Chain A
Amino acid sequence: MRVLVVDDNEEFCENIKDLLEMQGYTVVTAYDGASALDIIKRTLPDVVVLDMLMPGIDGMETFRHIKKMAVPLKVIMLSGFSDEGLKGQALQEGALYVLQKPPDYNKLFELIASCSDCASG
């Protein structure tokens, strides 16, 4: 299963990649929305872990672009803000889950694993 991690905090992005690779996932990283969309077009990951607030095309906008592509992938969003409104918006628009940073890693891994069930099933 392929996971794309998108976050402008590059260190965090690489850390999540390392943690997921340790669990056997194939992981790609992107540090901004535009390159994330580019990667999705080329490699079609099963799950995208997407930071909400990024310079340029931000998380919500990236998410909306992904939805327009009509590809069967799940999006888990991460947020550094405690903006409940934005969180509700993301869920309403179809994000699988919104985790606040620093995230509960067990929850994150659980969510990704649940996607893997979907992907294989």
Chain B
Amino acid sequence: MGNHLSILIIEDSENDLRLMLRQLKTDGYDITFERVETAAAMKTALDSRDWDAVISDYMLPQFGGLGALKLFQECQLDIPFIIISGCIGEDDAVAAMKAGAHDYILKDNLKKLAPALERELREAQNRRERKKTEAERMAEHEDRLRAYQRLAHIGKLAGNIAHELRNPLATISSSALYLEKKLGKVDEKTQAHFQRLQSAVDRCDSIIQNLLSEARTPEPHLAREDLRMLTSRVIADSNVPKSVTVIRDFPEAEVPVGADFELLRLAFQNIIKNAVEAMNGAGALTVRIGAGTVATVSFSDTGPGIAPEHLGRVFDPLFTTKATGVGFGLSLATMIIGKHGGTIKAESEYGRGAIFIVQLPLWRDSTTIVEDEVKTR
């Protein structure tokens, strides 16, 4: 029925095993099991198939319950591990629980085994579900960011293409107009040629217009966020290596900004990633937040800094000095921050680190920000 379980049992006594199985059967479980006595056999058994739970004797001639627990933990299985013992002292019980056993049962109180198993199986199931939900949420988040990154990339390319094409189109249309005016009154056929030129230019222009509107990056969904909280979470999520010391200089009061959390996180992550890479993975990153008429967050690193001739170009798409970079991170950050109504700039004294300063409008109330957004369109 639904109460079938496969259990790995670490136990040296045939008799104790029989008692345990009988009790579980009485409590309605149909058990498939394998009994092992050594670490090697336990390892082989854990690797060979899926188990619903592990039950281990505390005292074994070959190795103890704690040794079994350690081996179990190395396998990183999220299933119940229950210790049973003939005579476990309180200290041993505490040690076992501290080491991560899910429960311990005394052999003269085996009727507690089934409820403990049931509870721990349910807990393990809950943990798995939570983990799965969390993984799904992360995947969804990653997907959204990847999609945004792709759209932003396409948007930039489309913008560049538009500019590159509109210039020659402008030359064609102005030359055509000049010829038309210079020639004055022309025959119908010549007139038709001028019209064809003009309509071809118009057609190209509308294709460019369509391309641009298709490739337009989505607008952020702004909500009130505390810049300190947001920045803290980004730092925590950024996998900054231990060799980089992160120094936070945050004000005590809330710094409210209008932010699309995920997008702004993407922007900040790129700035942090850039700083960490600039420091070759070791140094100090100082993140400072301030609030005046606008909110400011600055990221200073102790890397080599930016050469003066590069300073003006670090935010350009496809600009990079790194051997492996594609030069998109900071330009994406710039775009996202721009869409938040903010600005980003870089300052650096070559040889003495770089500082990236982001300014964002302070959140006043929901309507104000929306209106400002519309006004700049």
Binding site for B on A (CB under 8 A): 9, 11-12, 15-16, 18-19, 22, 53, 78, 80-85, 88, 100-103, 105
A80 with B162, Cβ < 8 A, contacts A88-B376, A102-B201, A102-B205 known: yes
CB contacts (< 8 Å) of A105 on chain B: these are 173-174, 177
Cβ-defined contact, B170 with A103, below 8 A: yes
The B interface, classified by DSSP as helix, strand, loop or mixed, is helix
Interface residues of B in 222-267 (CB under 8 A from A): none
Indicate whether B185 reaches chain A with its CB closer than 8 angstroms: no
Cβ-defined contact, B181 with A82, below 8 A: no
Interface residues of B in 23-65 (CB under 8 A from A): none
Indicate whether B125 reaches chain A with its CB closer than 8 angstroms: no
Bound CA–CA A12/B181 (angstroms): 16
Cβ-defined contact, B166 with A101, below 8 A: yes
Cβ-defined contact, A19 with B178, below 8 A: yes
Indicate whether B79 reaches chain A with its CB closer than 8 angstroms: no
Binding site for A on B (CB under 8 A): 159, 162-164, 166-175, 177-178, 181-182, 201, 205, 209, 212, 338, 375-377
Bound CA–CA A81/B167 (angstroms): 10
Who on chain A is nearest to B209 by CB? A82
A15 with B174, Cβ < 8 A, contacts A80-B162, A81-B162, A82-B209 known: yes
Cβ-defined contact, B162 with A12, below 8 A: no
Contact among A81, A84, A85 for B159, CB-based, below 8 A: A81
Bound CA–CA A103/B212 (angstroms): 17
Cβ-defined contact, B376 with A101, below 8 A: no
A63–chain B nearest beta-carbon distance, Å: 18
Bound CA–CA A106/B170 (angstroms): 14
Contact among B172, B205, B377 for A84, CB-based, below 8 A: B377
Cβ-defined contact, A53 with B163, below 8 A: yes
CB contacts (< 8 Å) of B212 on chain A: these are 82
Cβ-defined contact, B167 with A101, below 8 A: yes
Cβ-defined contact, A22 with B169, below 8 A: no
CB contacts (< 8 Å) of A80 on chain B: these are 162-164, 166-167, 170
CB contacts (< 8 Å) of B159 on chain A: these are 81-83
Cβ-defined contact, A12 with B167, below 8 A: yes
Who on chain B is nearest to A84 by CB? B377
A19 with B167, Cβ < 8 A, contacts A81-B162, A82-B162, A82-B209 known: no
Cβ-defined contact, B171 with A15, below 8 A: yes
21 A–B pairs (Cβ distance < 8 Å), ordered by A: A9-B168, A11-B171, A11-B175, A15-B178, A53-B163, A80-B163, A80-B164, A82-B209, A82-B212, A84-B376, A85-B377, A88-B376, A88-B377, A101-B169, A101-B170, A102-B166, A102-B169, A102-B172, A102-B174, A103-B170, A105-B173
B198–chain A nearest beta-carbon distance, Å: 10
- For B177, B182, B201, the residue with the greatest tally of chain A CB atoms inside 10 Å of its CB is B177
CB contacts (< 8 Å) of A81 on chain B: these are 159, 162-163
The 4 closest A-B pairs by CB, nearest first: A15-B174, A102-B170, A80-B163, A80-B166
Cβ-defined contact, B162 with A102, below 8 A: no
Contact among A9, A22, A82 for B170, CB-based, below 8 A: A9
A15 with B175, Cβ < 8 A, contacts A9-B167, A22-B181, A103-B170 known: yes
Known: A12-B174, A84-B377, A102-B172. 20 other contacts (CB 8 A): A9-B167, A9-B170, A12-B170, A15-B174, A15-B178, A19-B178, A53-B163, A78-B170, A80-B167, A81-B159, A81-B163, A82-B209, A82-B212, A85-B338, A85-B377, A88-B376, A101-B169, A101-B170, A102-B174, A105-B174
